[in-house]
Amino acid sequence: MKLIKSNTYLLLVFISFIFFSCTKKDTKNPLINYEAQNELLFIETMQTHLDAVSNKDLTTLKSTLSPNGNMQLILPKTEITNTVDEFIKYHKNWFAIETPWTFDTKILDTKIGKEFGIAITEITYKEPDRDGKPYFNRMYVSYALQKIDNTWYVIKDHASSIEKSTDKP
């Protein structure tokens, strides 16, 4: 009888050991590649942002911006703006211009960390007629994104013109 109690006790200790060793709280699911998922969500946010500009969609555009209100916009020959409200106001005024335009975008490069990332894009802004001629402005635009509460948001936008149709040869 004593031997049975002793074996039962050892069996319970062994089962408890196995149970507790298999139930770590911070174990990640081995079927999910968190780094790949993080990169996918980053690219998705960046593409949503670019598409919102192309489609003149202020609501979607604002959804890609920091809920903390910080958003820095740096454009050639323009003063820097530093808030989401200023960024949205700039785009609202731009989108209200009746001249038809297109905004072709391509993500060229990304560097994505756990909380911050950057994207380099090539963007070509086109108007079919400006002063009697087609107009374009080819730019490189760098974006900084920050992850807040597991969601990526655009917090910086810096555009540099590379080539314009109005450049002198």
In this model, does residue 120 exceed pLDDT 50? Answer: yes
Q: What is the pTM of this model?
A: 0.80
User: Residue 41: its pLDDT value, please?
Assistant: 96
SS3 call for 154: strand
Q: What strand order describes the sheet that includes 116-130?
A: 81-83, 70-74, 151-164, 133-148, 116-130, 102-112
Share of the chain above pLDDT 90, in %: 75
Domains of the chain from N-terminus onward = 32-164 (3.10.450.50)
Structure tokens at 110: 């990304």
- Which residue type is seen at 13? V
With b meaning 16 or more CB within 10 Å and e meaning fewer, what string describes 145-161? bbbeeeebbbbbbebee
Helices (H), the chain: 2-21, 34-54, 58-63, 84-96
Confidence of residue 26 (pLDDT cuts 50, 70, 90): very low
